[in-house]
Amino acid sequence: GKVIGQVNGLSVSPMAEEAVFGKPTRITASTAVGRAGVINIEREANLSGRTHNKGVLILSGYLRGKYCQNRPFSLAASIAFEQSYSGVEGDSASSTEIYAILSSLAQIPLRQDIAVTGSVNQKGEIQAIGGVNEKIEGFYDVCKKKGLNNSQGVIIPERNVQNLMLKPEVIDACRDGRFFIYPIKTIDEGMEILTGYKAGELQDDGTFEEDTINHKVDQELQRLAENWKNYAKSSPKKDEA
């Protein structure tokens, strides 16, 4: 089905020396008015490594740069790897975390039959990651166990296409239209695949095309900024000494 603010990320876990396997991990996001920015729950629980922390800061820069040029960034968003207690490292989930946040802001559900991997820079460009073959094969194995329905697949960085060396079973499934691999270059491309909505281009007047993902996100961030402004005006001020 589809769920708002929830997406399947892809990670790799070591089994033995030089042996890893890929698996999907549910990532969720919750958004509200505030000034806390993006809260990395893994970091707050001391389960986040330095590279993952950097990835969260980069995705915060992307959100501010794209949507908050003419207003304050009045957002409190929390992101979490659900039921993950062994620590998170690397920045390959940064694009996945953005999708969850954008879905929560726009109130547009994300497909749960697609898993995502990909690092992102502050311009919204998808960057290469490691373990791409293990991640694809890991999600394929999970889908096969639950039952392939001719719609499941993974989103990967376009820059990782040259690294693909998948087992024949996965190649055959892709060739037969039973499993799909979507190589992308930008966050907008990923959101279109996950939602079925048009991303929306920035227009000359500084707004996004109406009835698009970016327009809905922009409108929600504007609402949050206005609510924060109104709250700050109405809240009682402390007596000055």
Q: Which two tokens stand for residue 79?
A: 């992101």
Give the Cα separation of 69 and 71 in Å (integer): 6
Structure tokens at 134: 């293990």
Please list the residues that pair with 182 across neighbouring strands.
155
Residue closest to 55 by CA, chosen among 101, 15, 13: 101
Q: 220: number of CA atoms within 13 Å, CB side?
A: 23
Which residue out of 23, 66, 135, 216 is catalytically annotated? 135
By the 8 A CB rule, do 118 and 155 touch? yes
Backbone φ and ψ for 157, nearest 5 degrees, come out as: -65, 140
Q: Is 92 a catalytic residue?
A: yes
Residue of 48, 92, 95, 104 marked catalytic: 92
Catalytic residues: 92, 135
